[in-house]
Amino acid sequence: MNANFESIQKSLIQFLDSKRGKFPRFYFLPYEDLLEIIGMGKDPKPLNKHIKKMFAGLHSLEAEPAPKGTQTAKYYIKCILSEGNPPEESIDLDAGAAEETKLLVDQNCEEWLKELIERMKRALQRLFKVVHTDTNQQRRIREHSYMRNWIAQQKGQILVTAAQIEWSNMCREALASLEKLANVNPSSTSHPLKALKATYRKKCNVYIDVVEKTPGLTALDRKKLTALIIIEEHHREVIDKMYNTKTIRRNHFDWLSQLRFTLKEPDANDQHYFVTIEQMNSEFDYGYEYQGNQPRLVITPLTDRAYMTLTNALSMYRGGAPQGPAGTGKTETVKDLGKSLAFFVLVENCDGTMNPQYLAGKLAGLSSSGAWGCFDEFNRILLDVLSVIASMFESIFDCIRQGQGEAKACNLGDVPALVSKDAGFFITMNPGYAGRSSLPDNLAALFRPVAMMKADFRAIAKIELMSVGFKEAEVLSVKIVSIYDLMDKQLSKAKHYEFQMRSLKSVLRAVGAIKQSMPQLNETSVVIKGVRDMNLSKLLAEDVVLFDKMFEDLFPDCEEPEVNMDDL
């Protein structure tokens, strides 16, 4: 009986693996979840609780009854939905595509899920037509009422990518103008970069006005504006840097080192618009993976250098290896780069229990689906396992190189894979922790290291405050970072104290929530309340006096606002 049971189990696993071979994202699910999806028959509803494990911003599917006369399916997929209850955002898969048939939910789930990915990509390509037709509108700085309506009408991912495309085009035009001018006075108002810098300063202020002065702003629009402010403020800083370094050509390092977006117009009979991204000598196709409205990472000079190293590694058919202490943004940097290029990033937390068979499945799924994998704390994996998977990574990178843009087949252990040119692999490591393995030399040679040290807290705090509507973000960010630096150095060394990036981000989120809920307070009072609320309760008694003294020094003549607790 045991022999029969083992035979049935082996046959079942072979059957499930055959399904994974047809739809590689099934490798991201355990066998139990995969079995439930396959057993759902023609009802797509059970899939919704597993869908977000296989897609970046897609959280559920909207299904409607199939057209009358359809024999093979009861439902068809009309929309893909983002997070939220009800969903914040939806993408209609059939809009503007009358020539396409409905996406029917039939018995073979792997087939219609593959078609779902293609429909998702085509839907986003069609939405970029809005970017093309609204280019002239984007260049005009409008009143915040117009800006609010425009933001409410567009999808968050399209808004951010449109901003990146438009910034790239405007910078190219400014630098092209400078190349034609023999001598230009940097202080002249006609200097192209100086004029562009003023435009982007005004643009950022308009976004902040929308956040600050619009009553009843929806949570979705607030997320869109937060992402736009983060991206556009970085654009303004890059323009400022190019102006200060006297960048006058399009082949200057300060320009080439940035992510530069280009929207390519389709043929006359095609309505799909394609986006490409360049950085240094690297060029990538936009992934068209729906990202939803996930938070964006504040881009600092450290982030820019990390992006440059990681994209350069991908162009050299290698992986990236961010290394550094905890809280320096190693994993978040990889995830945010994936959002910019619109790829699905699967984060895998590594440990000593991982074996070659498990990792071979994950690598096969990532390489065949063209997704990115970020293996967090990679050096926690046992040394003998690292030695085995080194050959798998080498096979994958060789396939990407030899494929020359086409998918190429290889075997990862016993798992077959069809390696996509878009696949990307990243490992993060914290060398300071005990119990970590050193990478074998042949494995380390496949990944370009990126040193991730302490980030610029002031720049992060400034942009985070701007994104929630602070006009005095420049001054207040310095004070917030200063008080955290003083707490880290001068308070006692209690084990539960933590005054680094994670704690700072928590305070910035709290400050944003207070500003939203108590708009009558001035900005300084909001910051005081936020910092005290988030820290006072965890301080030891002997540290409270010193904490109060710090506030007196940094915020003279300012007191914590009183809050009416009668309702409680």
The radius of gyration of the chain's CA atoms, rounded to the nearest angstrom, is 26
Burial class (CB in 10 A: 0-12, 13-18, 19+), 444: middle
- Does a structural domain hold residue 171? yes
Residue 342 φ then ψ, to 5°: 60, 55
User: What would the two tokens of residue 547 be?
Assistant: 């904490």
63, 44 in Cβ contact below 8 A? yes
278 - beta bridge partners?
Answer: 260, 283
Strands (E), 391-430: 408-412, 415-419, 424-427
Give the end of a domain, one of 416, 451, 486.
Answer: 451
Q: Are residues 6 and 102 in the same domain?
A: yes
State the DSSP string of 507-552: HHHHHHHHHHH-TTS-HHHHHHHHHHHHHGGGS-HHHHHHHHHHHH
Q: Let me know whether 447 and 306 are in one domain.
A: yes
What pTM, to 2 d.p., does this model score? Answer: 0.90
Same domain for 501 and 406 = no
Q: What is the pLDDT of residue 154?
A: 86
User: What's the confidence (pLDDT) of residue 565?
Assistant: 47
Confidence at residue 409, expressed as pLDDT on a 0 to 100 scale: 87
Length of the chain equals 568
Asked if residue 263 is part of any domain, the answer here is no
| 305 lies in the same domain as 445 | yes
The reported pLDDT for the residue numbered 548 is 85
Are 65 and 92 found together in one domain? yes
Residue ending a domain, among 451, 478, 510, is: 451
Based on the number of CB atoms within 10 Å of its own CB, is 517 exposed (0-12), middle (13-18) or buried (19 or more)?
A: exposed
Q: Is 447 found in the same domain as 489? A: no
Do 314 and 440 belong to one domain?
yes
Task: Say if residues 21 and 412 touch (Cβ distance below 8 Å).
Answer: no
Last residue of a domain, one of 132, 152, 186: 132
Residue closest to 472 by CA, chosen among 535, 521, 534, 517 = 521
Beta-carbon-side half-sphere exposure of residue 188 (alpha carbons within 13 Å)? 9
Q: Do 225 and 315 belong together in one domain?
A: no
Long-range contacts of the stretch 198-203 (C-beta < 8 A, 24+): 199/141, 199/170, 200/167, 200/232, 200/235, 200/236, 200/239, 201/236, 202/141, 203/141, 203/232, 203/236
Residue 568: predicted pLDDT? 40
Are the C-beta atoms of residues 152 and 144 closer than 8 Å to each other?
no
pLDDT recorded at residue 189: 62
Residue 134 is predicted with a pLDDT of 62
Q: CA–CA separation, 524 vs 559, rounded Å? A: 9
In a domain, residue 274? The reply is no
Tell whether 356 and 429 lie within a shared domain: yes
Cα–Cα distance between 509 and 470 in angstroms, integer? 13
Provide the 8-state DSSP code for 102: P
Q: How far apart are CA 128 and CA 147, in angstroms?
A: 18
Are residues 491 and 444 both part of a single domain? Answer: no
CATH number assigned to the domain comprising residue 113: 3.20.180.20
Give the model's pLDDT for residue 184. Answer: 67
CA distances from 350 to 156, 380, 426 (A): 32, 6, 12
291: closest CA among 121, 109, 46?
121
Domain count for the chain, please give it. 4
Between CA 356 and CA 383 the distance in angstroms is: 11
Is 562 part of a structural domain of the chain?
A: no
* Domain span at 359: 298-451
Which pair of structure tokens corresponds to residue 250?
Answer: 């399009």
pLDDT of the chain, 568 residues: tens digit per residue = 677 778 888 888 888 888 999 999 999 999 998 988 888 767 788 788 889 899 988 888 888 887 776 777 788 888 888 877 677 888 888 765 443 478 888 768 888 899 899 989 988 888 887 666 665 455 555 566 677 778 888 898 999 999 999 999 999 999 998 888 766 666 666 788 888 999 899 888 888 888 887 777 888 888 898 899 999 999 999 999 999 988 888 899 999 999 999 988 776 666 667 899 999 999 999 999 999 888 899 898 999 999 999 999 999 999 999 998 877 889 999 999 999 999 999 999 998 889 999 999 999 999 999 999 999 999 889 889 998 999 999 999 999 998 777 888 888 888 889 999 999 999 999 876 666 778 889 999 999 999 988 778 888 889 888 888 888 888 999 999 998 888 888 888 888 888 888 888 889 999 988 888 887 788 888 888 888 888 888 888 888 888 888 888 888 876 666 655 455 4
Q: What is the pLDDT of residue 270?
A: 63
Is 276 domain-assigned? no
**pLDDT digit string, tens, across residues 196-246:** 999 899 888 888 888 887 777 888 888 898 899 999 999 999 999 999 988
Residues 94 and 168 in one domain: no
Is 321 within 8 Å of 366 (Cβ atoms)?
no
| Distance separating alpha carbons of residues 188 and 195, to the nearest angstrom | 9
State the pLDDT at residue 311: 96
pLDDT score of 99: 39
Longest dimension (CA), the chain: 89
Residue 286 counted as domain residue: no
Distances (CA, A) of 336 to 155, 169, 409: 18, 22, 29
